[in-house]
Every structure is written in C-alpha cells, then in structure tokens.
Amino acid sequence: MITIIRQCIRNSTTSLLANKVRSFLTMLGIVIGVGAVIIIMSVGAGAQSLILAQVKSLGTNLIGVLPGKAENEGPPASAMGIVITTLTYDDAVALRDKKNAPHLAAVVAYSNGVGTASWDSRTYDTNLSGCMADMMEVEGGEVAKGRFFSEEEEKNLAKVVVLGSTVKEELFGESDAVGQRIKIKKHTFEVIGVMAKRGTVAFQDYDDKIFLPIRTMQKLMLGVNHVNMIRAKVDYEENIAEAMEEVTITLRERHDILDQSGAGDDFTIRSAAQALDMVKTITDALRYFLAAMAALSLLVGGIGIMNIMLVSVTERTREIGLRKAVGATNSNISNQFLIESVAITLIGGIIGIVIGAVVSFLISIVANFLDYDWEFSVSLISIVLAVGVSSLVGLVFGLYPARKASHLEPVQALHYE
C-alpha cells in the first residue's frame, strides 16, 4: 500500500514539474485566497488590539452615562450621532454629591462642539470641549503651563479656556499663551493654561482641543441645556457594579422614572469593561466576516483547479489507457489525480501563508512607525484554517476529474487522438 502511494506521489510530482507554468497559474488563485485570509485575520487582530488599547488607555475603573435607552446591550442612539437631550448638567452635579453616589471619585459632564479660535492675525479651526473642573481627574492629562479652570469658574460661566498643545502652537507659536485673550464665536476668552502634549487617547486628539467650562460652552457657545455624556471615575474597580446601581437610582429619581425594571430609562450606563467586551464582539464579527469574504476567492481557485485537471485528464488520456492496460486500477488513477490536485492547493496554501504573514508584518511595521499601538499577530488557527481549507478545496474540486480519469476504458483511451 505504501509503495502504491509513493508511486502515485512520484507520478504526480513528475506531471506537475512537467507543466511548471500551468501548475503555478493554477495555484495562483489559492495563493491569493489564502494570503487574503491571513492578511485580513492579522490586520483585524492588529486593529482590534489598537482599538482595545485606546479604550483601556482612559482607565478600567470608569463608567459612562449616555442619553437615550440602549436596546439589547448595544449602544444608545446618541452614540450614533442622534441628538438626545435627556441628560443635563444638573444630573452630573447630583452624581458628584457623595450622598447620592459615594463610590464615585470624580464626575465630568461634556458638551462638545467645534469653533474657530483667533489671536492677533492667526486663526485656527479646532474642537471645543466643554467639561467640568474634574476632567483631568477622570481622564488624566496635565497642565504644562498655567492652570485648569476651577469648579467656581465652571458654575459662573467664566470666559476662560485651556489650550491643547497643538492649538497653542498654531495660534501662538513660540509666544507665551497664558494671560493672552483669544476670540471664539465673537466671545473673548482668557487663556489660563496650556495642556501638556498627550496625543490621541480613545481616538480623541487631546492636543487639538480647547477646554472651557461646560456652563460657558452650553450657554454662550451652543445655547443648550443638555450634555452629550457624563463620565465618572469609580474609587475602586470592585465597586463598579455598586457605583452603576447608585447612578441608576439617582438618575431615575431625578427623571421621575417609576419603572424600576429599566424599560422606561432615558439613559444608558456602561462600564469600561462592558465597552471593551462590546468592542471586542463587534471587531471579532467584522474580522470573521471579512475573512469569509476573502475565502470566497478559494472557491474561485478551486473551480480553476478543476478546469485545469479536466484539461490534464484529456491531454493524458493515452497515458491513462496505457497504465490501465498494464494493470493500474481505477483507484490508482484516481489517487494520482487527487494527489496532484491536493498538492497544487497545499503548495499554494503554504505560499499564501508566507506572503500573507510578510505583508501583515510590513503593515504592523508601518503602523507602529506612525505611532499606532499595532500588534503583529498571525494566529495558529488562521494558519491551520488556511492549510485545511486549501487542502479541502483541492480534494473536493479534484474528485470529479479524478473520477473521470479512473473510468476511462483502456481500449478507447489508447486509441484517443
């Protein structure tokens, strides 16, 4: 039996080497398909690591409150850009009260927008972040020069701002910004501080922002009473669940929500851990969907293999007849063509894995060079899946040509022209 298998492998190798160009073109579809699967799985893993690292960078002991009720543990409509006005500044003030939420170490409400800042003859379009005085305690960061605004300035609609490092450089260059006055939407603000360079955290460029008291942002810049979201820092991670319950009770009381089942809530509370799980679920689903789409090219490659093998059967009809005339069985003929088909796809799969891994590695190098926290990863499961699927494609699409070859009648095959 082993001798027969060796003979089949030897004959298959000889046949493939005799038609090198055709063999290469036949396996090209498999190479592309397997390479695409490896690249998508690897890039997906790298992108997922980047997203998760960005979410974790704010801290794991945070909870967020968004306006609007979410369904089935998904994001609320406000996260999709729909304006919902159910959360207010006073809600955040109530949560800041230790009597209502003793496990919250700091609370910050946000009201965001965009605007053009001008100083002297310079102007710069940037993001405006109206926030509460505890912003740095919740999100981190530090002031490089000057100071951050106080709780009293927050309440009294003070016209003061703290500049991100990029904004400072664009408006003032090497000049000292602290103590200067800038204009935003016809209002004049005093620059009281400049933030230290921080970069992008949780997909927000903290350097390209102007921070101002939230009440000032609401009343003078936007003319609204609602806030975009509330973020709170919990004193200890083990108290997150209890803190979320405290926030829920406080907001239900303030919003006159009597239904304690949660069906009538007009807000959504998520912890950092829940956000991470949600992001991981979404990115995993996206990765596997894209990998499945890329794997469709393996189907195309399999059809190409079947066509070429059928051509090979036709070209080698006399060879098949001669072998059967000297004693080769249907099984011998069938096995030879199956081995050829599987060999083409297996070799193509290995080449595709190597190419996919190299391309994925180059992508990770470029991403890290651009200062992204990108993790290079080619998982064992993706390699096993690629090799297994490519071999299966060769086996399945080689069955028909192999069967056709094995059923040729020796006499007719020897007389075939």
Q: Residue 257 burial by CB count (10 A; 0-12/13-18/19+): exposed, middle or buried? A: middle
Pairing assessment for the beta strands 209-213 and 122-131 based on DSSP bridges = parallel
Tokens for 150? 């106080």
- What predicted TM-score, i.e. pTM, was given to this entire model? 0.65
Give the separation between CA 254 and CA 203, rounded to whole angstroms: 32
What pLDDT sits at residue 95?
92
Confirm if 60 and 272 have CB atoms less than 8 A apart.
yes
Return the residue matching tokens 């098949």: 320
- Cβ neighbours for 308, distance < 8 A, ≥ 6 positions apart: 22, 26
Q: What is the pLDDT of residue 140?
A: 83
What's the confidence (pLDDT) of residue 76?
A: 59
Angle between helices 330-369 and 20-56 (to 10 degrees): 40
- Position with higher pLDDT, 176 vs 403: 176
pLDDT higher than threshold 70 for residue 405: no
The domain limits of the chain are 2-54+278-414, 85-265
Pull the structure tokens for residue 169.
């450089």
175 phi-psi bin (left φ>0, alpha ψ -120 to 50, beta other): beta
Instruction: Give the three-state DSSP class for 151.
Output: helix
Q: What number is the average pLDDT over the span 104-112?
A: 92
pLDDT for the residue numbered 285 = 78
User: Higher model confidence: residue 159 or residue 271?
Assistant: 159
Taking every pair of C-alpha atoms in the chain, what is the biggest distance, in angstroms? 103
Taking CA atoms, 100 is separated from 252, 259, 268, in Å, by 12, 19, 18
Angle, alpha carbons 134-139-141 (nearest 5°): 90
Average pLDDT over residues 383-406: 70
- d(CA 414, CA 319) in angstroms, rounded, equals 8
User: pLDDT per residue over 133-142, tens digit each?
Assistant: 999 988 888 9
- C-alpha 326/C-alpha 27 separation (Å) is 32
Cα 195 to Cα 181: distance, rounded to the nearest angstrom: 16
Q: How far is the C-alpha of 24 from the C-alpha of 173, rounded, in Å?
A: 59
CA-based nearest residue to 269, from 104, 385, 125, 131? 104
Tokens of 154: 């927050």
Rg (CA), the chain: 33
Mean per-residue pLDDT, 270-283: 74
pLDDT value at residue 1: 46
Residue carrying structure tokens 């990108």: 374
Indicate the residue type of 281.
T
Break the chain down into helix, strand, coil percent, rounded to 5: 55, 20, 25
Query: What's the length of the chain?
Result: 417
